[in-house]
């Protein structure tokens, strides 16, 4: 997993001095069967938001029967009433010129959020074109909650297809094109990307803005065609291809098996996108949400501050998170959520004792605070003790977290690693598979399963896992998969496997154990121990990756803390400053499988 641009947003926001909500009136909370909406707008507007999201969820349930629709933490929707309220939540968007967002979706690992600005969308139709970005990202999150992997064009195409869903009376319209005609114009004045090339691409095709726009437009149009085009059997063929991608069928073969040869499909698709208009699909009688299903209450000022501190934490606006949590605790020192956020802020700063104190207080106040319990356990000496009693206590604490929230995947990852360290790789495999099922989009979870399979002597299955990830993911995810592939003895893996990607010009790769990390305002220095040799690298704005299985994950990860003792992989160029081994081009922190206990009998290939 890379630290992405959303993560780096904190570096901008951290410098801002924006007041919290201490001068605001308290917000209200509206609970529907599956969502919470927090708003400072009218109660009617908040109820409307809740109904719309419930309807969108129902559409997805109908279109994808049997899919999971709720993660460990359900989507939380913030509905600020106007621009000023929105600006206080995401001030970075107001640091640049241009249009301001009507809706934003945040894919935080532990708590997803949607922002809906009430004054930019009509009360009679919340899902206007300006709001489509929120539904687009919501569909992504639902897909990723269920799928190991999906081709980028189909991932984006489905998200765009459902983004413009409209609820009008007794009918729901899906697949309607946006009012913005620029997309259709782009498709009609530029040649479509040849399908044989298009379906194999992992992302946009260049840094050119127009090429990226064409990719999104074609993703939408191709998905629309495969749903509603002539001979597509109302989407049945698309569903066949969709299922084959999950079974590991190669993209070209699966596409042609489902739709026919590329030449004919290309011809039919080109004709389709030059139609005068695209029709929408209709779902009759969408489910209705009664007022009795919507529970409304006014929050206190302290509760409002605490909720927004949690939002700032999830979006890594740490200055604002600390400011709001401290304000909440001044008003009400017994708010568990505010203590949890304060604890995570301390964790981010590397102040582990302070973090443990605050996280413990959160659990004391509310035993359901499973994230606080988990982080407290992982920060405790129990997580590293070799004492048999401590190890039992460590397992017990992890089990308590799992009992509090059965769908919190990281606890199963840690229990799997615990069982490996205890010499029980068979038990570890079941736990790793459980984590995979809960969060199938995390490539690192698949690699973890593959490593355990290799530990069990099931090399062929491990090779299958390694190849699956390496062929479909990029960056540190692919690098970890290739490490697993290369760890499998050559006679025990398929002849045909993933291809190694050559390093850039004058780039060298090295691995070692992290000894020290020093962070400056805009740079970082990392020293590694490689076989007794000390290697020192400086990094300026380089991509930093980390294993998905590191317990502090993306929401709380910072390379400045908690990385000492980990294995790191560095790609670097020779530095002009002889006091450094090199200047890092990329840097990745690894979470390795624990060693088998002394005396354990290695498994053999089955």
Q: Please determine, for residue 4, whether its predicted confidence score (pLDDT) is greater than 60.
A: no
| Percent of the chain's residues with pLDDT above 70 | 90
Which distant-in-sequence residues (6+ apart) come within 8 Å of 243 by Cβ? none
The dihedral sign for the CA sequence 330, 331, 335, 340: negative
Q: Average model confidence (pLDDT) for the chain?
A: 87
Which distant-in-sequence residues (6+ apart) come within 8 Å of 77 by Cβ? 35, 36, 37, 38, 49, 50, 53, 113, 114, 115, 116
Can you tell me the distance from the alpha carbon of 428 to that of 421, in angstroms, rounded to the nearest whole number? Answer: 9
In a domain, 38, yes or no: yes
Can you tell me the distance from the alpha carbon of 51 to that of 550, in angstroms, rounded to the nearest whole number? Answer: 37
Question: 582-590 and 533-539: which strand pairing?
Answer: parallel
Q: Which two tokens stand for residue 35?
A: 């969502």
In a domain, 57, yes or no: yes
Q: Please determine, for residue 519, whether its predicted confidence score (pLDDT) is greater than 60.
A: yes
CATH number, domain containing residue 535: 2.40.50.140
CATH number, domain containing residue 49: 1.10.390
Vertex 244: Cα angle to 243 and 250 (nearest 5):
150
In a domain, 368, yes or no: no
In a domain, 464, yes or no: no
Under the banding of pLDDT at 50, 70 and 90, the label for residue 80 is very high
Predicted confidence at residue 496, as pLDDT, reads 84
For the stretch 418-434, what's the b/e string if a residue is b when 16 or more beta carbons lie within 10 angstroms of its beta carbon?
bbbbbbebebbbebbbb
Mean pLDDT value of segment 156-171: 87
Of 47-56, 399-408, 498-507, the range with the highest mean pLDDT is 399-408
Q: Answer with the one of 232, 254, 284 that is the final residue of a domain.
A: 284
- Give the range of the structural domain holding residue 564, as residue numbers without chain letter: 508-590
Q: Which two tokens stand for residue 223?
A: 């998905």
Can you tell me the distance from the alpha carbon of 546 to that of 568, in angstroms, rounded to the nearest whole number? Answer: 9
- What burial class does residue 391 get, using C-beta atoms within 10 Å of its C-beta: 0-12 exposed, 13-18 middle, 19+ buried? middle
Predicted confidence at residue 186, as pLDDT, reads 78
Vertex 551: Cα angle to 315 and 466 (nearest 5):
105
Lowest pLDDT segment from 43-47, 152-156, 176-180, 547-551 = 176-180
Can you tell me the distance from the alpha carbon of 160 to that of 155, in angstroms, rounded to the nearest whole number? Answer: 9
Question: 76-79 and 36-39: which strand pairing?
Answer: parallel
Q: Please determine, for residue 387, whether its predicted confidence score (pLDDT) is greater than 90.
A: yes
Phi-psi region of 285 (alpha: psi -120 to 50; beta: other; left: phi over 0): left
Question: pLDDT tens-digit profile of 186-227?
Answer: 777 788 888 888 887 554 455 566 677 888 888 999 999 999
The one-character DSSP state at 120 is G
Q: Please determine, for residue 19, whether its predicted confidence score (pLDDT) is greater than 70.
A: no
Can you tell me the distance from the alpha carbon of 382 to that of 391, in angstroms, rounded to the nearest whole number? Answer: 6
The answer to whether the CB of 92 falls within 8 A of the CB of 12 is: yes
In a domain, 520, yes or no: yes
Q: Answer with the one of 284, 305, 336 that is the final residue of a domain.
A: 284
Question: 281-284 and 103-106: which strand pairing?
Answer: unpaired
Question: pLDDT tens-digit profile of 33-49?
Answer: 999 999 999 999 999 89
In a domain, 121, yes or no: yes
Q: Please determine, for residue 360, whether its predicted confidence score (pLDDT) is greater than 70.
A: yes
The answer to whether the CB of 114 falls within 8 A of the CB of 103 is: yes
Under the banding of pLDDT at 50, 70 and 90, the label for residue 600 is low
Q: Please determine, for residue 253, whether its predicted confidence score (pLDDT) is greater than 90.
A: no
The answer to whether the CB of 447 falls within 8 A of the CB of 465 is: yes
Question: 113-116 and 76-79: which strand pairing?
Answer: parallel
Domain total for the chain?
A: 2
Can you tell me the distance from the alpha carbon of 408 to that of 596, in angstroms, rounded to the nearest whole number? Answer: 26
Q: Please determine, for residue 576, whether its predicted confidence score (pLDDT) is greater than 80.
A: yes
Lowest pLDDT segment from 172-176, 188-192, 596-600 = 596-600
Helix 262-272 to helix 209-228 angle (10° resolution) is 100
Predicted confidence at residue 246, as pLDDT, reads 79
Predicted confidence at residue 283, as pLDDT, reads 81
Can you tell me the distance from the alpha carbon of 199 to that of 257, in angstroms, rounded to the nearest whole number? Answer: 14
Mean pLDDT value of segment 460-476: 93
Vertex 316: Cα angle to 311 and 321 (nearest 5):
55
Predicted confidence at residue 373, as pLDDT, reads 98
The answer to whether the CB of 481 falls within 8 A of the CB of 473 is: yes
Q: Answer with the one of 284, 307, 335 that is the final residue of a domain.
A: 284
In a domain, 257, yes or no: yes
What is the SS3 assignment for 204-234? CCCCCHHHHHHHHHHHHHHHHHHHHCCCCHH
In a domain, 337, yes or no: no
Which distant-in-sequence residues (6+ apart) come within 8 Å of 527 by Cβ? 514, 515, 516, 517, 534, 535, 536, 537
Vertex 605: Cα angle to 599 and 606 (nearest 5):
115
| Percent of the chain's residues with pLDDT above 90 | 60
Q: Please determine, for residue 381, whether its predicted confidence score (pLDDT) is greater than 60.
A: yes
Contacts 24+ apart (CB under 8 A), 561-565: 561/347, 561/348, 561/349, 561/350, 561/517, 562/350, 563/514, 563/517, 563/589, 564/514, 564/515, 564/516, 564/517, 565/513, 565/514
């Amino acid at each position: 997993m890379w630290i992405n641009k959303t993560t780096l947003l904190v570096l901008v926001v951290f410098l801002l001095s924006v007041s919290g909500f201490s001068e605001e009136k308290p917000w209200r909370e509206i609970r529907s069967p599956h969502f919470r909406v927090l708003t400072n707008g009218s109660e009617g507007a908040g109820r409307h938001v809740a109904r719309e999201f419930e309807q969108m969820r129902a559409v997805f349930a109908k279109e994808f029967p049997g899919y999971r629709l709720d993660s460990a933490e359900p989507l939380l929707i913030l509905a600020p009433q106007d621009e000023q309220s929105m600006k206080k939540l995401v001030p970075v968007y107001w640091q640049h010129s241009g249009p301001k967002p009507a809706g934003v979706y945040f894919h935080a690992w532990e708590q997803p959020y949607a922002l809906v600005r009430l004054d930019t969308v009509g009360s009679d139709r919340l899902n206007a074109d300006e709001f489509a970005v929120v539904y687009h990202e919501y569909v992504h999150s639902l897909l990723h909650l269920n799928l190991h992997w999906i081709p980028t064009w189909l991932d984006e195409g489905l998200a765009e297809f459902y983004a413009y869903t409209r609820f009008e009376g007794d009918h729901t319209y899906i697949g309607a094109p946006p009012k913005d005609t620029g997309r259709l114009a782009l498709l009609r004045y530029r040649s479509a990307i040849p399908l044989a090339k298009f379906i194999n691409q992992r992302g946009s095709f260049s840094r050119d803005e127009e090429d990226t726009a064409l990719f999104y437009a074609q993703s939408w149009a191709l998905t629309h065609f495969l749903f509603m085009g002539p001979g597509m059997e109302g989407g049945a063929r698309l569903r066949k291809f969709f299922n084959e991608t999950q079974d590991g069928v190669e993209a070209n073969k699966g596409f042609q098996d489902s739709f026919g040869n590329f030449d004919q499909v290309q011809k039919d698709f080109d004709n389709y996108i030059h139609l005068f208009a695209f029709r929408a699909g209709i779902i009759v009688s969408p489910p209705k949400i009664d007022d009795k299903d919507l529970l409304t209450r006014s929050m206190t000022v302290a509760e409002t501050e605490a909720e927004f501190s949690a939002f700032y934490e999830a979006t890594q606006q740490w200055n604002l998170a600390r400011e709001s949590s401290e304000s909440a605790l001044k008003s009400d020192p017994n708010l568990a959520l505010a203590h949890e956020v304060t604890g995570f802020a301390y964790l981010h700063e590397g102040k582990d004792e302070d973090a443990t104190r605050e996280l413990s207080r959160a659990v004391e106040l509310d035993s359901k605070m499973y994230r606080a319990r988990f982080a407290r356990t992982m920060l405790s000496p129990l997580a590293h003790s070799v004492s048999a009693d401590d190890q039992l206590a460590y397992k017990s604490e992890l089990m308590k977290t799992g009992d509090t929230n059965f769908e919190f995947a990281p606890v199963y990852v840690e229990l799997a690693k615990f069982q490996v360290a205890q010499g029980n790789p068979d038990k570890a495999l079941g736990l790793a598979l459980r984590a995979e099922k809960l969060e199938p989009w995390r490539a690192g979870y698949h690699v973890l399963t593959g490593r355990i399979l290799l530990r069990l002597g099931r090399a062929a299955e491990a090779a299958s896992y390694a190849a699956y990830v390496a062929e479909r993911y990029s960056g540190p995810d692919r690098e970890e998969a290739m490490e697993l592939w290369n760890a499998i003895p050559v006679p025990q893996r398929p002849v045909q496997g993933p291809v190694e990607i050559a390093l850039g010009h004058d780039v060298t790769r090295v691995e070692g154990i992290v000894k020290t990390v020093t962070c400056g305002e805009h740079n970082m220095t990392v020293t590694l121990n490689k076989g007794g040799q000390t290697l020192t690298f400086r990094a300026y704005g380089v991509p930093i990756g980390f294993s998905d299985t590191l317990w502090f994950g993306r929401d709380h990860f910072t390379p400045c803390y908690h990385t000492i003792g980990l294995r790191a992989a560095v790609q670097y160029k020779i530095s002009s400053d002889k006091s450094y081994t090199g200047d890092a081009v990329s840097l990745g922190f690894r979470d390795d499988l624990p060693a088998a206990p002394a005396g354990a009998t290695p498994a053999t290939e089955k």
